[in-house]
Structure 1
Amino acid sequence: MTDDSKIQPEWRNFYGRIRGKSMRASQKTYLSEDLDTLRPRGVTREENPERALIDPAEIFGDHRPVWLEVGFGAGEHLVHMAARYPGVGIIGCEPFINGVAMLLGKIRAAGVTNLAVHPGDARDLMEVLPEGSVAKAFLNYPDPWPKRRHHRRRFVTAEHLLPLARVMAPGAEFRVATDIPDYVRQTRIEVPKAGFELVNDSGAAWDDWLSTRYEQKALREGRVPHYLTFRRV
């Protein structure tokens, strides 16, 4: 018998940039020398056409807690958390290859060894992670898609939140940081529908937060950051 809930489309819409106009020679080196060793196997459809589940223990070599950051930008928060919590394995997802290259440079500089990098759509990764395998997730300054007709492209929609809820363990924490008031509004409405409860809704950042370049830009331009914490129920 086929489990229809596990049947996924062969192709899905993706909105946003994949590559920038230019890349430094050093960044090209990071991509060619480092990415392959940090990339989880079995995520792409080419490697895993049957969409079999992957074992996070094979990514990090043991059964440590696994965290997930969706859209890590230039990677400063991801590397900061990896350095602060060396006993945790963190998977970062980012389709923008220039951002991936910047992250790889930061990983080299920091010397952290508990990171994995998926250079693609987070949905592809969530599709093959086991149920309840993620202990904490981060969504920091996601693309706001400000036009009303584009709000369905935001991460805080059922297309993204339901797969996220599936892979998160009961009681797992989901953090969202944004400077867009309407994104806060939509987050408050949509995330609980997917199986989360709101536990903190504040203008004060988390104790272990590292302000990213996107947040610094928002502050320079007069926008106010907001931080929301949810728990998987």
Structure 2
Amino acid sequence: MTAHPPLRSYGRLKTRAIKPRQAALMETLLPGLRPPPGPFDPCTLMPTATGVWLEIGFGGGEHMAAQAGLHPDALIIGAEPFQNGVASALRHIDEAHLTNVRVLDGDARELMANLPDASLDRVFVLFPDPWPKARHHKRRVIQADSVADLARLLKPGGALRFASDVAHYVDWALALFLANPAFRWTAEDAAGWRNPPADHITTRYEEKRLGDVAPVFLDFVRV
């Protein structure tokens, strides 16, 4: 039987012309930030790193760059297929002179497949495409198989944060993470998911409030 590639979990790759400065960074800065093709140990990318973090779908890169600036000892790897977002992230990285960020301009699932077991200390999945139509739910990045892969990649005690302002996607993600015994939800009361975590960084995209509910934050620990 012929193997089929996974369904795309993202929409258009580009919506507008990339600004000249950002286009130049795509040519000069991005090649040196891309993770190597094929299986690799992320520790080799920054041997001095005290931890390895992954952001799946970093949008315009505001959160990723800000976290990298606050945690210079951590290696932060981001994956984003949307080219305008990648270009924006490169601008943030360049302006802040960040050396602890690596960027895959493609599908995060390709990156995850190349990482070894228990290689990540932290994962962020913040405001992913909700694919609101029922027939498109299968395209959501959070599925039973991706949750299982995240469980494989996170170290025991590692942290994962999912955030969304789409009620159905929040319910969807919570059910899938709770169904996997590798994850424990850390919320003890409603404030645990209604209030932004102390270390959360709000982005301009989040502030647009494009969903149908106030942002919900689900924090999990790898058991």
Deviations 1:77-134 (A, max 9, x none): 0011001111110000101111001000001111111101011111111111110000
TM-score, with length taken from structure 1: 0.87
TM-score, with length taken from structure 2: 0.91
Aligned to 1:125: 111
Unaligned runs of 5+ in 2: none
Counterpart check, 1:198 vs 2:206: no
Deviates more, 1:115-124 or 1:192-201: 192-201
Counterpart check, 1:160 vs 2:146: yes
Aligned to 2:207: 216
CA distance in 2, matches of 1:172, 1:230: 8
Does the CA contact (< 8 Å) of 2:124 and 2:161 recur in 1? yes
Does the CA contact (< 8 Å) of 1:123 and 1:163 recur in 2? no
Does the CA contact (< 8 Å) of 1:156 and 1:191 recur in 2? no
Tell me the number of residue pairs that the alignment of Structure 1 and Structure 2 aligns. 215
Aligned to 1:73: 59
CA distance in 2, matches of 1:149, 1:197: 29
CA distance in 2, matches of 1:17, 1:170: 36
CA distance in 2, matches of 1:87, 1:21: 35
Report % sequence identity: 38
Change (3 A) 1:196 1:73: same
Counterpart check, 1:98 vs 2:54: no
Deviations 1:132-158 (A, max 9, x none): 000000011110111111112112212
Counterpart check, 1:228 vs 2:222: no
Aligned to 1:115: 101
Aligned structure 1 segments of 4 or more residues deviating by more than 3 angstroms: none
CA distance in 2, matches of 1:31, 1:197: 39
RMSD over aligned Cα, in angstroms? 1.7
